[in-house]
């Protein structure tokens, strides 16, 4: 106020100096006191010119005009002969502005507000601007519920008529809601109404919740939710008559009272559809959610509007307007709803442009679009195009806008803005897996090779159990119709004992080609042919037995048979011989010859996939299903088939929480004349009474399996039934060693709740609470739900450049004797 008074006094003094001038004709005008502002700028604002008669009124007008520019703190008019001298004192310029203490409002959001008020570097400093910005900041913080905010400013004078402005903000804490009182509600309880609120008092265990933080916007939204809650149940006249918001003296606690008028419940008398009906009325009526004699519902009325608008937008009416007009009969408590339809002009798409695809060719994007240039606009096609783009693995986010073409009322453009993710990687590094141990890897993976959408991969990996090489290529659009073609070659040496599978070391070389064909927007079939050569490095095998002193079961007399297969002791407990080796002994002579070590398999694979997920990495809605089969063709060493079915369903349940279910079924059998059970050499696996089995005897293998052991299904691990070691569930090779050997049948499934990941943006990380259940069985007749294993825990996944990093903390909630469990499981780096 004092500053304003000073300015007024200066202005009055200047005007008095103007009044002291006698009228005269100006021969010239000179401006004194300028430092930064040019004379041209002054003359541009000056309303008088040379050769003009200067009177007291014209002098006052000149001073007023120059003051209004805000450039000067003082202006005086003087006369030197017939020369008009304008003495000015410039306001200082703002050299710098600094902000401190602001966290709730970021600097990048605050500086534009300061500039709008005139506080910006290089601008003329006007002291009243500080008062304006202080009031504006307090208003902004009050709207966030920060009533204890303090805003202080400091102006430091610098040389050359400049100033530095410092604004210090003490934000204070957001006021917390301590109590919400609903008054006047007789039809519905407080809890029912408050459950709809965004503002609420959280339970004690939600220590990070911000539900109780007060803001005006949240309160306004909650009051509207009260009206909606009642109107959705027929109470059209329901309203919040008044609200009282009280704040504690320390400005930290908020108390809210809402007074409600409930009114009467209304019934729908009839439904009318009027306007320009470009679609048959009967079709539109099927989209309306309420009928005559139904209880009125605002929510259903609004949903009906959305339904009609959506169907119109799908046939080109992008700017259709459907206005529901309720005609209320308060005497009889009846409502007639008239849906007035104004479709507007039919609109077509002029052009489609892509923004942000620096590494991806336009044609890769255009082939995913279901909206075409020159065609009628379709919102359904736009939505489908967005989903298809989001499901590509090389895009972080996709946004589509449809601005109208300027100067037209029947054309729009489609602007697709994408944010690309790193679709390729070249990495040389180390990883670690609890099963594979230290992993050294070299990999080149490109899901968007040269921006073409083709997938190319080359990898080398070495760990204590696997050494592998692989090369793959896939072209998802081998033809313009979306037929894909791919091929692969791989070589792998696998120590199965290190993976808890068997005692063998295997070497496998494989290659193949596959083709895919889209059936619909969500259905896809794929078929392929391949060849595999598997060599087993076993040597001769014999039954392994442990010989135990019957008087002292802890005393092992010998661990293996001698060269002749004889142990000098009389008593023994058969330690399970390797049934997998026995299953390969076609001759039954206790030796594996070359024909029994080497397997050549000609593979035929086929699959059907249906995928309606809305995102590739972290879907929030939709489902995926995959039904597949793999069979060895005639001419293979062993002839068998495998069937599998995998499914997942994603359901948004509340806020950012996503509930998902998943299941995995697998079954395989042989269709040649080979019978594992009949070829197995008999062995007595019964234990003496004083020796206890180390695992479930029901799961000891009987060799009644059809699949070759290297095609068995396995269960357990960081990506399967978590909480159990990799590949340790299912049939065991014997009652003492209890080594899992896999089986012909696998059943597993579970559920997850994905929760928001704090401190991260985008879809590169994920936290989920999970429940897993399942097991592996020797054959169909061995399937027994009572043998299911189950676990629960929390899983964290991060899509790192070197591959996914997965960490699980799990605890078994259903386990049996001999199960190998682990609470902390993780996989780091690329695994093969």
| Least-confidence region, from 24-33, 207-216, 493-502, 652-661 | 493-502
Express as a percent the part of the chain with pLDDT over 90. Answer: 38
| In the predicted structure, residue 361 carries a pLDDT above the cut 50 | yes
pLDDT digits (tens, 9 = 90+) for 457-473: 888 877 777 788 899 99
What percentage of the chain's residues is helix, strand, coil (to nearest 5)?
Answer: 20, 40, 40
More confident residue, 38 or 21: 38
Whether residue 476 lies inside any domain: the answer is yes
Residue 573 has a pLDDT of: 40
| In the predicted structure, residue 759 carries a pLDDT above the cut 80 | no
Label the pairing between strands 411-420 and 348-355. Answer: parallel
- Nearest-angstrom CA–CA distance, 733 and 473: 39
Specify whether the CB–CB gap between 504 and 537 falls below 8 A. yes
Query: What are the backbone dihedrals phi and psi of residue 796, each rounded to the nearest 5 degrees, phi first?
Result: -120, 125
Same domain, yes or no, for 470 and 367?
Answer: no
Three-state DSSP at 51 gives coil
DSSP H helices, 665-790, are 676-679
More confident residue, 613 or 11: 613
Whether residue 586 lies inside any domain: the answer is no
Whether residue 85 lies inside any domain: the answer is yes
pLDDT digits (tens, 9 = 90+) for 597-631: 678 899 999 999 999 998 877 888 999 999 999 99
- Nearest-angstrom CA–CA distance, 627 and 263: 56
446-460, 509-523, 748-762, range with greatest mean pLDDT:
509-523
Same domain, yes or no, for 606 and 706?
Answer: yes
Residue 302 has a pLDDT of: 95
Residue 736: CB atoms within 10 Å: 24
Which of the listed residues 420, 443, 465 is the one where a domain comes to its end?
420
Nearest-5° Cα angle at 363, 360 to 369: 105
pLDDT digits (tens, 9 = 90+) for 249-304: 888 888 889 999 999 999 999 999 999 999 999 999 999 999 999 999 999 999 99
Whether residue 675 lies inside any domain: the answer is yes
Residue 526 has a pLDDT of: 96
Three-state DSSP at 737 gives coil
More confident residue, 28 or 14: 28
Whether residue 583 lies inside any domain: the answer is no
Same domain, yes or no, for 715 and 802?
Answer: yes
Exposure string for 551-574, b = 16+ CB within 10 A, e = fewer = eeeeeebeeeeeeeeebeeeebbb
pLDDT digits (tens, 9 = 90+) for 384-436: 999 899 888 888 889 999 999 999 989 999 999 998 876 655 555 555 554 55
Whether residue 581 lies inside any domain: the answer is no
Same domain, yes or no, for 823 and 803?
Answer: yes
Residue 262 has a pLDDT of: 93
- CATH code of the domain containing 40: 3.10.20.310
Pick the closest to residue 292 from 270, 324, 317, 325 (CA basis): 270
| In the predicted structure, residue 824 carries a pLDDT above the cut 80 | yes
What does the chain come to in residues? Answer: 832
Specify whether the CB–CB gap between 766 and 797 falls below 8 A. yes
Residue 214 has a pLDDT of: 78
Label the pairing between strands 253-261 and 176-183. Answer: parallel
- Nearest-angstrom CA–CA distance, 734 and 544: 11
Residue 713 DSSP code: B
- Nearest-angstrom CA–CA distance, 823 and 724: 8
Which of the listed residues 154, 170, 186 is the one where a domain comes to its end?
170
pLDDT digits (tens, 9 = 90+) for 66-86: 888 888 888 999 888 889 999
- Nearest-angstrom CA–CA distance, 272 and 277: 12
Determine the structural domain holding residue 97 and report its residue range: 93-170
Which of the listed residues 215, 241, 261 is the one where a domain comes to its end?
261
Residue 20 has a pLDDT of: 57
Residue 691: CB atoms within 10 Å: 15
| Mean pLDDT, residues 89-112 | 87
Same domain, yes or no, for 516 and 646?
Answer: yes
Average pLDDT, the chain: 82
pLDDT digits (tens, 9 = 90+) for 649-675: 999 988 788 999 999 999 999 887 654
Whether residue 587 lies inside any domain: the answer is no
Q: How far is CA 491 from CA 439, 534, 633, in A?
A: 17, 10, 21
Same domain, yes or no, for 182 and 154?
Answer: no
Query: What are the backbone dihedrals phi and psi of residue 595, each rounded to the nearest 5 degrees, phi first?
Result: -65, -20
Same domain, yes or no, for 273 and 256?
Answer: no
Give the 3-state DSSP-derived string for 588-648, with helices as H, strands as E and coil as C: CCCCCCHHHHEEEEEEEEEEEEEECCCCCCCCCCEEEEEEEEEEECCCCCCCEEEEEEEEE
- CATH code of the domain containing 676: 2.40.160.50
| In the predicted structure, residue 644 carries a pLDDT above the cut 90 | yes
Same domain, yes or no, for 69 and 136?
Answer: no
pLDDT digits (tens, 9 = 90+) for 179-236: 889 999 999 988 888 888 887 776 655 556 667 777 788 888 888 999 999 999 999 9
Whether residue 584 lies inside any domain: the answer is no
pLDDT digits (tens, 9 = 90+) for 770-815: 999 999 999 998 999 999 999 999 998 876 655 567 888 999 999 9
- Split at pLDDT 50, 70, 90, the class of 177 is confident
| In the predicted structure, residue 574 carries a pLDDT above the cut 50 | no
| Least-confidence region, from 63-67, 278-282, 487-491 | 63-67
Q: How far is CA 338 from CA 274, 288, 295, 324, 341, in A?
A: 7, 11, 16, 6, 9
More confident residue, 20 or 821: 821
The CA R_g of the chain, rounded to the nearest whole Å, is: 40
Whole-structure pTM value: 0.64
Report how many domains make up the chain. Answer: 7
Write 586-592 long-range contacts (CB < 8 A, 24+). Answer: 586/674, 586/679, 588/679, 588/681, 590/540, 590/541, 590/542, 590/681, 591/540, 591/541, 592/536, 592/538, 592/539, 592/540, 592/541
Specify whether the CB–CB gap between 529 and 598 falls below 8 A. no
Give the 3-state DSSP-derived string for 528-588, with helices as H, strands as E and coil as C: EEEEEEEEEECCCCCCCCEEEECCEEEEEEECCCCCCCCCCCCCCECCCCCHHHHHHCCCC
338-342, 461-465, 688-692, 756-760, range with greatest mean pLDDT:
338-342
| Least-confidence region, from 241-245, 333-337, 597-601, 682-686 | 682-686
Residue 289 has a pLDDT of: 94
Specify whether the CB–CB gap between 630 and 605 falls below 8 A. yes
- Nearest-angstrom CA–CA distance, 124 and 637: 89
| Mean pLDDT, residues 632-647 | 92
Same domain, yes or no, for 183 and 238?
Answer: yes
CA dihedral 752→758→759→761, nearest 10 degrees, is: 50
Express as a percent the part of the chain with pLDDT over 70. Answer: 80
Same domain, yes or no, for 605 and 477?
Answer: yes
Label the pairing between strands 348-355 and 321-329. Answer: unpaired
Same domain, yes or no, for 448 and 410?
Answer: no
More confident residue, 403 or 737: 403
Please name the residues in contact with 500: beta carbons below 8 A apart, sequence gap of 6 or more: 435, 725, 726, 727, 728, 739, 740, 820
Phi-psi region of 539 (alpha: psi -120 to 50; beta: other; left: phi over 0): left
Please name the residues in contact with 287: beta carbons below 8 A apart, sequence gap of 6 or more: 304, 307, 308, 311
| Least-confidence region, from 20-24, 323-327, 328-332, 535-539 | 535-539
Same domain, yes or no, for 387 and 475?
Answer: no
pLDDT digits (tens, 9 = 90+) for 684-722: 455 556 667 778 878 887 766 788 877 889 999 888 899
Pick the closest to residue 350 from 401, 417, 412 (CA basis): 412
Specify whether the CB–CB gap between 797 and 831 falls below 8 A. no
- Split at pLDDT 50, 70, 90, the class of 527 is very high
């Amino acid at each position: 106020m004092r500053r304003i008074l000073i300015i007024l006094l200066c202005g009055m003094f200047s005007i008095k100096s103007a009044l002291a001038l006698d009228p005269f004709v100006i021969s010239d005008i000179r401006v004194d006191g300028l430092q930064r502002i040019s004379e041209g700028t002054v003359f541009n604002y000056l309303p008088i010119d040379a050769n003009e008669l200067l009177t007291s009124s014209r002098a006052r007008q000149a001073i007023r005009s120059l003051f209004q520019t805000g450039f000067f703190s003082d202006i005086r008019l003087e006369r030197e002969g017939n020369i008009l001298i304008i003495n000015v004192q410039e306001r200082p310029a703002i050299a710098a502005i600094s902000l401190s203490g602001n966290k709730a409002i970021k600097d990048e959001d605050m500086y534009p507000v300061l500039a709008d008020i005139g506080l910006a570097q290089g601008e003329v400093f006007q002291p009243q601007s500080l008062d304006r910005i202080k009031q504006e900041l307090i208003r902004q913080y009050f709207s966030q519920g920060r009533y204890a905010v303090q805003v202080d400013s400091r102006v430091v004078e610098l040389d050359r008529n400049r100033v530095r402005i410092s604004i210090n903000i003490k934000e204070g804490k957001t006021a917390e809601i301590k109590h919400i009182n609903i008054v006047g509600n007789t039809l519905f309880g407080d809890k029912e109404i408050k459950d709809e609120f965004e503002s609420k008092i959280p339970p004690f265990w939600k220590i990070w919740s911000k539900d109780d933080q007060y803001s005006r916007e949240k309160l306004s939204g909650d009051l509207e939710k009260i009206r909606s809650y009642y109107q959705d149940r027929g109470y059209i006249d329901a309203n919040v008559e008044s609200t009282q918001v009280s704040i504690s003296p320390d400005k930290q606690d908020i108390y809210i009272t809402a007074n409600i008028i409930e009114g009467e419940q209304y019934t729908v008398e009839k439904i009318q559809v009027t306007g320009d009906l470009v679609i048959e009325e009967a079709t539109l009526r099927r989209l309306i959610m309420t009928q005559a004699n139904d209880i009125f519902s605002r929510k259903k009325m609004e949903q009906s509007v959305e339904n009609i608008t959506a169907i119109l937008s799908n046939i080109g009416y992008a700017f259709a307007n459907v206005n529901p007009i309720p005609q209320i009969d308060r005497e009889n408590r009846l409502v007639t709803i008239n849906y007035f339809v104004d479709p507007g002009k039919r609109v077509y798409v002029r052009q489609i442009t892509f923004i942000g695809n620096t590494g991806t060719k336009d044609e890769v994007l255009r082939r995913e679009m279901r909206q075409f240039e020159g065609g009628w606009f379709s919102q359904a096609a736009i939505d489908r195009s967005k989903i298809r783009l989001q499901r590509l693995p090389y895009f972080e986010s996709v946004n589509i806008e449809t601005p109208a073409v300027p100067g037209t009322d029947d054309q729009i453009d489609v602007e697709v803005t994408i944010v690309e993710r790193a679709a390729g990687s070249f990495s040389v590094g180390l990883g670690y897996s609890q099963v594979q141990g230290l992993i050294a890897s070299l990999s080149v993976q490109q899901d968007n090779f040269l921006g073409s959408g083709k997938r190319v991969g080359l990898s080398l990996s070495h760990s204590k159990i696997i050494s592998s090489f692989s090369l793959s290529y896939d072209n998802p659009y081998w033809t313009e119709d979306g037929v894909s073609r791919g091929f692969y070659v791989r070589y792998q040496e696998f120590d199965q004992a290190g993976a808890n599978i068997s005692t063998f070391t295997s070497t496998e070389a494989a290659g193949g080609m596959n083709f895919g064909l889209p059936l619909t927007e969500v259905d896809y079939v794929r078929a392929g042919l391949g060849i595999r050569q598997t060599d087993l490095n076993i040597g001769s095998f014999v039954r392994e037995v442990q010989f135990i002193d019957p008087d002292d079961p802890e005393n092992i007399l010998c661990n293996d048979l001698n060269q002749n297969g004889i142990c000098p002791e009389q008593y023994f407990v058969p330690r399970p011989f390797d049934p997998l080796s026995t299953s390969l002994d076609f001759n039954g002579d206790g030796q594996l010859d070359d024909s029994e070590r080497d397997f050549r398999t000609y593979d035929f694979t086929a699959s059907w996939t249906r995928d309606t997920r809305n995102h590739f990495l972290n879907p929030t809605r939709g489902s995926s299903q995959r039904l597949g089969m793999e069979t060895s063709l005639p001419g293979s060493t062993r002839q068998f088939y495998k069937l599998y079915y995998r499914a997942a369903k994603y359901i948004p349940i509340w806020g950012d929480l996503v509930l998902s279910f998943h299941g995995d079924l697998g079954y395989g059998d042989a269709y040649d004349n080979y019978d594992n059970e009949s070829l197995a050499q008999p062995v007595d696996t019964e234990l003496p009474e004083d020796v206890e089995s180390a695992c479930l005897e029901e799961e000891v293998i009987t060799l009644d399996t059809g699949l070759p052991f290297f095609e068995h299904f396995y269960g357990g691990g960081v990506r399967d039934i978590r909480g159990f070691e990799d590949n340790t569930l299912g049939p065991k090779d014997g009652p003492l060693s209890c080594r899992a050997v896999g089986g012909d049948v696998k059943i597993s499934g579970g559920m997850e709740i994905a929760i928001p990941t704090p401190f991260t943006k985008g879809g590169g990380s994920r936290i989920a609470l999970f429940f897993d259940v399942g097991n592996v069985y020797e054959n169909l007749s061995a399937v027994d739900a009572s043998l299911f294993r189950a676990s629960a825990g929390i899983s964290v996944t991060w899509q790192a450049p070197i591959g996914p990093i997965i960490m699980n903390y799990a605890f078994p909630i259903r386990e049996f004797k001999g199960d190998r469990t682990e609470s902390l499981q993780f996989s780091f780096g690329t695994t093969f």
